[in-house]
Amino acid sequence: MFKKTSKIGDSNPIKSKIGFGCWGLGGGSIVSPSYGKISEDEAIKCVDLALKNKVNFFDTSPAYGSSEIILGKFLKKKKRKEIFLASKCGISDFSLSQNFSSNFLRKQLSKSLKNLGTDYLDLLQLHNPT
């Protein structure tokens, strides 16, 4: 797709200039339902198609419904080093208040890593800080 790869620090290389936003995979939440519900199989097919088309930057969040869990199931079948994986912290559901305390961020990161089935993220972002 693009000849040039990018890196952020010691992260995995970003091979694509286009990232795959995973909000639509998990169905969002009651307050913010994304684009509607899709099956887990369809969600995994979408992610697989993106990777086959050389999109390796995937962005998710705990606030994106079951997005992290679905992406984690996909990652079990792939080489983690092929993927540039970004997630967010500070919001676990759009119906709840933001929380950027260090204790909450640590807990949320730990849960995200478990959901994603990995021991590291390439990028961790604060989700919509004021």
* Active-site annotation holder among 57, 58, 64, 74: 64
Q: Residue 22, CB half-sphere, CA atoms under 13 Å: how many?
A: 33
Q: Is 120 a catalytic residue?
A: no
- CA dist 41 and 61 (Å) reads 19
CA distances from 88 to 1, 43, 76, 94, 126 (A): 26, 20, 20, 13, 5
pLDDT tens figures, 71-95: 999 998 888 888 999 999 999 888 8
pLDDT tens figures, 103-113: 999 999 999 99
Task: Report helix, strand or coil for 87.
Answer: strand
pLDDT tens figures, 23-33: 888 876 677 77
